[in-house]
Structure 1
Amino acid sequence: MSEIERLDASPLENVFLGIGTGRDPNEHNRVRNLNGFYSREALEACYISSWACRRVVEIMPRLMCRKWGQMTFDGETAESIQERVKKYSSDLVKYSDDLELLESKINLIQWMEKRHKELCVRKKFKQAQNWANLYGSAYILLVANDDEDYSQPLEVNNLSKIEQLIVLDGYQIYPDGVSNYERMNPEYYCLYTGVLSDAKIILPDNYKTSNKIHKTRILEFIGNELPFRERSRNNGRGASVLEPFIDVWHRFFNAYASISRVLTNFSVFVHYIDGLFDQLWQGGRESQRKLSERLSVNQISMSLYKGYAADKEKEKMEFINRNLSGVSNAAECLKDELVAASGVTASVLFGQFAAGLDASGKITGEQRFLNDLVEEAQQDKFTDNIDRLNALLLSEDDTPEDDSNHGWNWIALYTESPKEKAEITKIYAEADKINVESSLLVSGGESAPSATQQPKEVEEPEETEDRMDAVRLSNLEKVGGRVRYRGKLYAPNKPYKVGDRYYVLATKNGFVQLVNFSKDDVDNGVYADNPYSPTYWANLYFSFATPVTDDSTPVKKIIDWQGFKIGLQYLPFEMRHNKMLTAGYGHFQKTRGADKMAVDCYVGTNLKSPKLFVIEQMIDGEFDEEKYVIGVNSIEEARQIYLEVMPEEMLGSISECSVEELRRLRVDANLVTIPGYILSEEEFGAIADIGDDDVKEAVTNWKAIAPSAYVNILSAE
């Protein structure tokens, strides 16, 4: 292979030759950004010269800081505390202690708001995220009065006051370290050499140019995250949000510029000359000179006389219009790609709103998407930093005393308009009216008691403050995948069953609260969207309906095994809970298990095997019930049958037991006659021993009716 053949020309673009791009006479050679990192100068040039690049850098920090957030203490915001103060003020004798506690919280919130304004926290966070978006990383240096060198950790016990917040971009300060690990997990930060001469301008006088800055004095902001190796290669910085945008912007801009030029010269002027090719071929340069002069006459004629002069017999002049069909579709595709690369919605990027953001009086789908986008960015990029800063401010010498758990609540960018709130209230009111008229509700919104229900005693409603126990999730001790809440371990948002009640540590806006619920809390007529509501979890957990128990499923066949009659509710290769069984499933008749119902069992193909295995089924770490497995030869076969249809986290222990132990679960109740007939071992074997063709047919039929999420659940094909 020659040197030319081995030459990799993929990074090179030359529009005159048509290499790497379209033929555009306004472009010149440039090298593509194949490694993914633009230089600081290139990023700054795009940021300064391009409105689109500037908007992509600035729009998300602007939206993240528009409504900002508010301090919370013990899960309460300033508004909710003020409401409670108004309520308690009517009875000063009864609520004197509560009022004193609430007033201390209000004083602390007001003090924190004052400190935020003094330090320009909102402005500094916005500026830091701007530079992080542009350069990949930015930092806020905490200038603290703690009588310690900058290289020493910032200890809250020694902190007197946070004096200032200084924003430094990723090209002014860098993580110190020799190895990749040290740069990715820095203990110290240092100023770049070019910044050292300006250190006295940027930093306070007590900073020495030889000093390192300890990580506890730094708040880090990231543009786009990078994999470990790429971030290390980028000197510990993240990626600029312009990295994936600039090339797309160039294509978009050049395409629209080309379309504009085409529209300007929509018609092409054609001058036909009889025998032109032969004249040029035979006449040489003299013929070319004469042709050039003839075309120049056209230009002069059009300029002076607004027309052309031509030989009627040997020349012809014509304007040909270009065909631009399909250009609008191509332009829209380029626009869609640009919007996708920007990471924001089209209306925000281009500022296009048909009738104003809130002209309809309702939150649009695009606004909801933007709400989620901004909230996710605030949680990922701001929450840890604002929590660290607030914790330091609360440790200052002149902080008002308060033992409350502090937190931070981000305010949604868009909320329902008064018109939309009124419409929602109207819908609920109309639904309640219908329910009252149909006796589903009685006055006051309580469910109407049935004829068999005993009237409930009227109880005093709990005070709202007794249930305001929400605390910030990040403040709780983490143990494995769980958190310690009030001395007990919980997995957030995973219900636990205790007796007839269920408990769940519910999360909302970064806070958690323990909620208990049961089937009685299910309300099909209410759309409860508050995770702290029992109805929310009851509706979610019980799927808005009373689940059908296995024992209510009709028995299809009955088999004899070791003196027991087993009612088969599901035969092999039938669907149960949207999964295909590879064994039979039913229950031992005339038995009673831990759930006060007949003992469930899986039935394998070898009914001659006397082995019996018992599985402890768990739900959220708590014992639920026992499942037995027969018709198998080993404990591994029993385990495999169970795991093919049930998740592994529900499998507790599995052990072999005797038939005598099972007989202890028999009851003396009369046998309920169930339709069906008793299968012989041979008949059951004929059902259970399915060949390859039968498996393929069963899988094909199953896929035809299965949800798409489960189509690949089997590997039988």
Structure 2
Amino acid sequence: MTRAGIDIVSDGAPDDLGKVNEAFVDLGIWERLSETIKWSRLYGGALAVLLIDGQDVGTPLRFDTIKRGQFKGLLVLDRWMVTPELAEEVKELGPDLGRPAFYTVTANAPAYRGKKIHYSRVIRLDGVELPYWQRISENGWGISVLERLYDRMVAFDSTSTGVAQLVYKAHLRTVSVDGLREILAAGGAPEAALIKQFEMIRLMQSNEGLTLIDAKDTFEAHNYTFSGLSDVLLQFAQQLSGALQIPLVRLFGQSPAGLNATGESDIRNYYDGIAAQQKSKLRGGVSKILDLAWRSSIGGNPPSSYSFVFNSLWLMSDTEKATIAVGVTGAVAQAYEAGIVDRETAMRELRQSADVTGVWTNITDEEIQAADDDPPEPSEGGDVRELPDLAAIVADLGADGGSGRGEISLDPGSEG
């Protein structure tokens, strides 16, 4: 969910967008968000506290009060580090309606020990969401993703251990001793003689597989074949994969089976599921962080067009990138030649496509600004010649001592 990052969409200055991206890197935003997601999945819930320098965490967050340099990143607290104040619920209409209005930090937390944090200053992520009454039994949180697949994990582990033990005992050797029961019942010298016999067998066994035994004894070797064990293991692995919603090719690093199987469709479906989780669980929190990053890095309100999209997790091949680059370049060039866009807009579109194609990355801001100063394109009717300064010509004619009257040709084909 956090691996590929985001692509900021805005008509703001490229330098400003660069500063926002630098803030995400310098403050370790993606690392902290990834940590929050991991603890929420493991424990059933976690918080990412917005660190605003100079502000009380117990008060509601107001974005218009954020000054430059105030946003300091995120503090990750799992569900066991905070206690939701269930008696104080959010009453404002919105996505947080009914949730705890405050979270009290416990003594084992790394910071803010004993303080109450307002819900507007946290990004809350739950594990597996529960119905209301079950959620109440979990102190308002969800449950760990491991709880709904624990029995599948035990089954897979038990099967793997059992198969390993079977393989270890697949080659068994037995010796039939004449009168063994009487020898053990008698004990003493007969039993000691039996033990000495087997010590001699171990001593005399050779690399050629020879075994020294009495002529009346019988030696047998038992070999077993285990057909179907791989199918049993695969079935349990598939159940575990389905419970985790992670394909086998990624969960176990297993090569896809079957003719012409590449696992591409499994990975694509998996990435589609991740994209759905990004939109449902992560988009609101990232939007809040993006707003804070602009106010802290640039100052003032962000532009009205300030938004973002999650970058695709699917990495394209060089051939796919080249194909898209050719298509985008052709479409932009066609729009420019048709007069739909000017050269500045065309250059901006080409550079923006570089995030996907890797082409046109060297178009600089100076070149784009220079394109904005280009003279208008000539019309299709022929060359446009610059007209002389008529007022100056008339003034010169009047100063010539004459009547101040003269003839001026405005014919484009005339040299006059």
Specify the TM-score bucket, using the shorter chain as the normaliser. 0.5 to 0.7
Number of the residue aligned with 2:381 = none
The alpha carbon displacement at 1:412 in A equals: 0.5
Q: Describe the shift of the 1:165–1:421 C-alpha distance in structure 2 as closer, same or farther (beyond 3 A).
A: closer
* 134, 158, 173: which one aligns with 2:82: 173
Code of the residue aligned with 2:36 in structure 1: it is A
Number of the residue aligned with 1:394 = 294
Number of the residue aligned with 1:153 = 60
The alpha carbon displacement at 1:166 in A equals: 0.8
* Cα displacement string for residues 174-193 of structure 1 (whole angstroms, at most 9, x for unaligned residues): 3112499999610000112x
1:270 aligns with 2:174: yes
Number of the residue aligned with 1:187 = 101
Gap regions ≥5 residues in structure 2: 92-96, 328-333, 347-416
Number of the residue aligned with 1:318 = 220
1:223 aligns with 2:130: no
* 273, 283, 305: which one aligns with 2:204: 305
* 260, 264, 285: which one aligns with 1:385: 285
Residues 468-617 of structure 1 mapped to structure 2, 5 A cutoff: none
Number of the residue aligned with 1:592 = none
* 282, 286, 311: which one aligns with 2:185: 286
The alpha carbon displacement at 1:262 in A equals: 2.2
Q: Describe the shift of the 1:402–1:386 C-alpha distance in structure 2 as closer, same or farther (beyond 3 A).
A: closer
Q: Is 1:138–1:169's contact at 8 Å kept on the other side of the alignment?
A: yes
User: For 1:397 and 1:322, how far apart are their aligned partners in 2?
Assistant: 70
User: For 1:242 and 1:265, how far apart are their aligned partners in 2?
Assistant: 33
The alpha carbon displacement at 1:226 in A equals: 2.2
Q: Describe the shift of the 1:289–1:180 C-alpha distance in structure 2 as closer, same or farther (beyond 3 A).
A: farther
The alpha carbon displacement at 1:303 in A equals: 2.0
Q: Is 1:135–1:239's contact at 8 Å kept on the other side of the alignment?
A: yes
Q: Secondary structure at the match of 1:232?
A: helix
Number of the residue aligned with 2:316 = 416
User: For 1:310 and 1:143, how far apart are their aligned partners in 2?
Assistant: 80
Q: Secondary structure at the match of 1:186?
A: coil
Q: Secondary structure at the match of 2:133?
A: helix
1:129 aligns with 2:37: yes
User: For 1:350 and 1:424, how far apart are their aligned partners in 2?
Assistant: 33
Q: Describe the shift of the 1:142–1:421 C-alpha distance in structure 2 as closer, same or farther (beyond 3 A).
A: closer
The alpha carbon displacement at 1:298 in A equals: 5.9
The alpha carbon displacement at 1:239 in A equals: 1.8
1:350 aligns with 2:257: no
Number of the residue aligned with 1:139 = 47
* 236, 244, 250: which one aligns with 2:154: 250
User: For 2:124 and 2:98, how far apart are their aligned partners in 1?
Assistant: 12
Number of the residue aligned with 1:337 = 239
User: For 1:169 and 1:414, how far apart are their aligned partners in 2?
Assistant: 30
Matched positions, count: 323
Q: Is 1:266–1:322's contact at 8 Å kept on the other side of the alignment?
A: yes
CA RMSD after TM alignment: 3.9
Q: Is 2:88–2:100's contact at 8 Å kept on the other side of the alignment?
A: no
User: For 2:121 and 2:127, how far apart are their aligned partners in 1?
Assistant: 20
Q: Describe the shift of the 1:111–1:324 C-alpha distance in structure 2 as closer, same or farther (beyond 3 A).
A: same
Gap regions ≥5 residues in structure 1: 1-63, 74-101, 355-359, 429-444, 446-458, 467-717
Identify, as 1 or 2, the structure richer in helix.
2
User: For 1:179 and 1:143, how far apart are their aligned partners in 2?
Assistant: 23
User: For 2:14 and 2:322, how far apart are their aligned partners in 1?
Assistant: 31
The share of aligned pairs that are identical, in percent, is 21
Identify, as 1 or 2, the structure richer in strand.
1
- Normalising to structure 1: TM-score of the pair? 0.40
Q: Describe the shift of the 1:423–1:212 C-alpha distance in structure 2 as closer, same or farther (beyond 3 A).
A: closer
1:373 aligns with 2:273: yes
Q: Describe the shift of the 1:158–1:401 C-alpha distance in structure 2 as closer, same or farther (beyond 3 A).
A: closer
- Normalising to structure 2: TM-score of the pair? 0.66
Q: Describe the shift of the 1:311–1:235 C-alpha distance in structure 2 as closer, same or farther (beyond 3 A).
A: same
Q: Is 2:102–2:118's contact at 8 Å kept on the other side of the alignment?
A: yes
Q: Is 1:105–1:402's contact at 8 Å kept on the other side of the alignment?
A: no
The alpha carbon displacement at 1:373 in A equals: 2.4
